[in-house]
């Protein structure tokens, strides 16, 4: 009997010193059938949305919780900072570069094969930081007030970004018609109605007589660029364009539209 007791004590001492027979720290796999310390149910133990490491007594040692995957591209992890041991996680894969196979439609506009499409009729947005309109096109400048005239060139282009319009245009007469004018009409959008919307264009004349200095402006609440002449004394008056059969006017204007 004493011999058996000695053998038992020696065996216990051996296990105690070597750790043999005692479980080391374990991790819980997703397939394990167990309930760890502090877990009310097996489902609670098998946290499939987290990586949990347990001590030998079943308590948590370290964990990464709140794992989520987005479209197979991104893994998001929230570390459980209440545990003793920190867990580090670094991203190894390079991020994908976003790409679009079609254009982008804004509002009721249909997306095309590329670019950003805005509706033909803008849907105004009050937010000052929101772009709600974009348009490109052509316009037809016309000598306002003259009838029966003919042109060898009568063309213009415009781009609208938000409420700002940029236009270029030219008319070249081949027949002067009857009457006189002091403005070019046909702007693609009417100029805004407030006095702050007056804008000064750059322009050139050829074969159009005037006295003093020629000036011009985009007339508020109109679709016209109006011309004036200023005398050396500073007197302003309408510049009556007496067109010749070869007269031409070229204009560029940036203005605020209605």
Ramachandran angles phi, psi of 4, nearest 5°? -60, -40
Closest CA relative to residue 35, chosen from 58, 14, 2: 58
d(CA 146, CA 212): 23
Per-residue pLDDT, averaged over 155-161, amounts to 98
d(CA 68, CA 79): 13
Alpha helical stretches, state H, the chain: 2-18, 42-45
Give the highest mean pLDDT range of 3-7, 10-14, 65-69, 215-219: 215-219
Q: Among 77-81, 142-146, 163-167, 250-254, which stretch is predicted with the lowest mean pLDDT?
A: 77-81
Residue 215 and residue 228 in contact, taking contact as beta carbons nearer than 8 Å: yes
| Confidence class for position 198, pLDDT limits 50, 70, 90 | very high
Per-residue pLDDT, averaged over 188-194, amounts to 97
Q: Euclidean distance between the first and final Cα of the chain, in Å? A: 110
pLDDT of 45-101, one tens digit each?
Answer: 444 445 555 666 666 555 555 555 555 444 555 555 554 444 444 444 555 666 667
Q: Among 27-31, 148-152, 243-247, which stretch is predicted with the lowest mean pLDDT?
A: 27-31
Give the highest mean pLDDT range of 21-30, 78-87, 116-125, 181-190: 181-190
d(CA 49, CA 60): 15
| Confidence class for position 124, pLDDT limits 50, 70, 90 | confident
Structure tokens at 194: 């407030």
Q: Whole-prediction pTM value?
A: 0.61
| Confidence class for position 16, pLDDT limits 50, 70, 90 | very low
Please report, for the chain, the start and end positions of each structural domain, with discontinuous segments joined by +. Answer: 2-79, 135-256
Structure tokens at 191: 């100029």
pLDDT at 244: 85
Could you count the other beta carbons within 10 Å of the beta carbon of residue 202?
11
Give the highest mean pLDDT range of 12-26, 90-104, 119-133, 209-223: 209-223
CA angle 146, 148, 153 (to 5 degrees): 85
Strand partners, 76: 68
Half-sphere exposure of 226 (CA within 13 A, CB side): 14
Sheet holding 74-79, edge to edge: 26-27, 51-54, 60-70, 74-79
Strands 150-161 and 51-54: unpaired
Per-residue pLDDT, averaged over 95-111, amounts to 74
Strand partners, 224: 185
């Amino acid at each position: 009997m004493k011999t058996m007791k000695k053998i038992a004590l020696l065996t216990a001492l051996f296990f105690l010193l070597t750790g043999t027979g005692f479980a080391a720290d374990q991790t819980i796999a997703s397939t394990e059938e167990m309930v760890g310390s502090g877990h009310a149910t097996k489902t609670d133990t098998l946290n499939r949305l987290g990586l949990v490491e347990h001590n030998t007594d079943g308590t948590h040692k370290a964990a990464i919780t709140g794992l989520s995957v987005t479209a197979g591209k991104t893994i998001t992890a929230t570390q459980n900072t209440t545990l003793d041991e920190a867990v580090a996680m670094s991203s190894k894969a390079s991020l994908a570069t976003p790409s679009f196979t079609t254009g982008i439609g804004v509002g009721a506009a249909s997306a095309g094969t590329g670019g950003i499409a805005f509706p033909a009729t803008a849907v105004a947005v009050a937010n000052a930081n929101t772009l709600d309109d974009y348009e490109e096109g052509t316009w037809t400048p016309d000598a306002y007030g003259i009838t029966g005239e003919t042109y060898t060139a009568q063309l213009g282009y415009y781009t609208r970004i938000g409420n700002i319009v940029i236009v270029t245009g030219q008319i070249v007469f081949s027949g002067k018609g009857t009457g006189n004018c002091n403005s070019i009409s046909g702007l693609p959008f009417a100029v805004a109605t407030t006095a702050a919307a007056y804008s000064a264009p750059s322009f050139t004349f050829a074969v159009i007589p005037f006295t003093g200095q020629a000036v011009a402006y985009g007339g508020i609440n109109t679709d016209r660029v109006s011309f004036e002449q200023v005398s050396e004394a500073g007197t302003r008056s309408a510049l009556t364009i007496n067109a010749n059969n070869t007269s031409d006017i070229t204009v560029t204007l940036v203005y605020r539209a209605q």
